[in-house]
Structure 1
């Protein structure tokens, strides 16, 4: 844990230095005002391979194994496993979620499905390591108890993967799709205070891993400071995506304005981005993978280490 935290801290210092030098370059070339269309990457960063992330439907460990193997084969061909997100929908209590087929899925079933995915990946990937973010969302309201339960679940999944012999390649993170616009299963808006409490609850569990925030900044300004939707703030977005100790920022960059929103947050509260998340395979009206990663990298001046895309199927 200490090594990973040091690695990310060093990346933050390096990224902030690169960003500062890059802004000076942009200003000297007269490009600083070009903030409304996709821009070429002025920092000459190399885009990482894009991984396939997955909205998990009905419980099917065999399918999970096959998808894991497919990603493992891809990882072997490109030389890296990168970061993938397995999104299991929304927590409805401390031991159950509602998946993308609309069915209830228990924490033990989630563990079985993730272990099956890891097995498939391990069998087909050669020697490429992978980071798997096991995701949920704040659509269920969230809160400290939910965050703590998810951290315990992640510890259990990592332990099961280690026991199965896959731990040398597979690292488990939590995942959270924090979005201000979620209505909540009860019909009430999912509040920022509940999101912050979820993050704090996750953080308070001994031995917890990192979690990846692959959410959105709905209603936040694309430049300067201002409010976001449903009582959320730019600082609140920063806190749950990066400011909280276990948080790694991998925001949805479905459109160019999304990168602008996160750069505005970054200017007010400097942060290091861990990934750009897209969904072009599911919705071709959104950014391509290269646009999603390129927009976030170019605007923030950061060599974002991961690119992932939610895919169909």
Structure 2
């Protein structure tokens, strides 16, 4: 996304029978990074251009994930919301001429993905399928309008789900470069106001400090980034982008969670870590190709390096790819 050479990542889905309990900070002191669990493996999330997407493609994607036997969150990123309930493909700007797709097609894709997952799953494997969009504000919608519309779509898709193997939630890829903080806050506030359906935030923290309280990129503050990652909202779970091989993104998120503990008595609820290793194999990246294990380990270590952000465990990682 904002950290790749070609802004590889673009929008926001994933699955489980019941939501795994997100890791929340404890106050037990620790002086060195300590793994409290072994690496739990990873799921696969996807960018989904809905124009060429078919029911067969969706079923195949769900089936492939089921055969891994791994429980956890998968995010389907559908791109940018535009007027008239249309979605623009991931990785594009308003000027693109690529065909738009009705938001209802995202719900249909999720339905067929869940069918494929259910038909092919091994044992009692379950998934949380998070239907996601990004915070690009060039679609001629206000943040509150976009958030309310997505809350309605995700809620309806969840209500119409026909399999207990897959639980539908929402997802958001919020990045400072893509909108004002006011627009993004309007989106998440409207989403949480209009549905109790959980939300997974696969956000970036571009330009945020690893220590202290300096501003992030595009005049976003730590308060803004914390708010967009779920600060003050128990139904919102952070699954942040941990792409960089130098570990700086993990340290940024640990600092954001520490800011929340200090200033709002609310360290973030982490549901795992997101990498883009497979996407980088498909499209060129530059030092942003952490493997899922590397992303998970970096975030675990960064959180456990400070008493106020230490976690008992971190859930399954997820790795993003193009379809």
TM-score (norm. length: structure 2): 0.79
Alignment partner of 2:292 out of 289, 293, 296: 289
Shift in Å, 1:244: 4.3
The structure in which a higher percent of residues are helix is 1
Q: Which moved more, 1:146-155 or 1:43-52?
A: 43-52
Aligned equivalent of 1:93, options 80, 83, 92: 83
Which ranges in structure 2 are unaligned for 5 or more consecutive residues?
1-17, 93-97, 261-266, 282-286, 305-310
Residue 257 of structure 2 is matched in structure 1 by 266
**In 1, distance between residues paired with 2:103 and 2:294?**
35
Paired position in structure 2 for 1:250: 239
Distance 1:73 1:6 in 2: 20
Are 1:306 and 2:290 matched, yes or no? Answer: no
Aligned to 1:150: 150
5+ residue gaps in structure 1?
27-40, 183-189
Q: Distance in 1 between matches of 2:84 and 2:241?
A: 26
For 1:33, the equivalent position in structure 2 comes to none
2:64 counterpart SS class: helix
- Partner Cα separation in structure 1 for residue 19 and residue 74 of structure 2: 19
Question: What CA deviation, in whole Å up to 9, does each residue of 1:41-64 have, x standing for no partner?
Answer: 622421122101000023312101
What is the match of residue 191 of structure 1?
Answer: 180
- Two-structure CA RMSD over aligned residues (Å): 2.0
Question: Does structure 2 retain, via aligned residues, the 8 Å contact 1:279–1:311?
Answer: yes
Identify if the C-alpha distance between structure 1 residues 113 and 221 changes in structure 2 by more than 3 Å, giving closer, same or farther.
same
Given that 2:48 and 2:322 are in contact with CA atoms closer than 8 Å, whether structure 1 keeps it comes out as: no
Q: How does 1:23-34 map to 2 (within 5 A)?
A: 23=31, 26=32
> Using the alignment, how far apart are the partners of 1:223 and 1:118 within structure 2?
41
Pairing 1:76-225 to 2, within 5 Å after superposition: 80-93=70-83, 95-100=85-90, 102-126=98-122, 127-140=124-137, 143-161=143-161, 165-166=162-163, 168-182=164-178, 190-205=179-194, 207-225=195-213
Q: Deviations over 1:153-208 (max 9, x none)?
A: 001111221xxx31x111111111000012xxxxxxx1101111101100111x43
Matched residues in 2 for 1:230 and 1:7: separation?
Answer: 33
Compared CA separation, residues 235 and 291, structure 1 to 2 (3 A): same
Q: Distance in 1 between matches of 2:19 and 2:88?
A: 32
- How many equivalent pairs are there? 272
| TM-score, L = length of structure 1 | 0.82
Match of 1:47 in 2: 39
Give the structure 2 partner of residue 56 of structure 1: 48
Per-residue CA deviations over 1:100-156 (Å, capped at 9, x if unaligned) read 384311122111111010100011113211101101000135511110110100011
Q: Per chain length, whose mean CA-contact separation is higher, i.e. which structure has more relative contact order (CA < 8 Å, sep 6+)? A: 2
Alignment equivalent of 2:214, drawn from 202, 219, 226: 226
- Asked whether the 8 Å contact 2:272–2:316 carries over to 1, the reply is yes
Match of 2:67 among 35, 56, 73: 73
Runs of 4+ displaced beyond 3 Å: 4-8
1:52–1:310 contact (8 Å) kept in structure 2: yes
2:284 is matched with which residue? none
C-alpha distance in 2 between matches for 1:69 and 1:158: 19
CA distance in 2, matches of 1:151, 1:121: 24
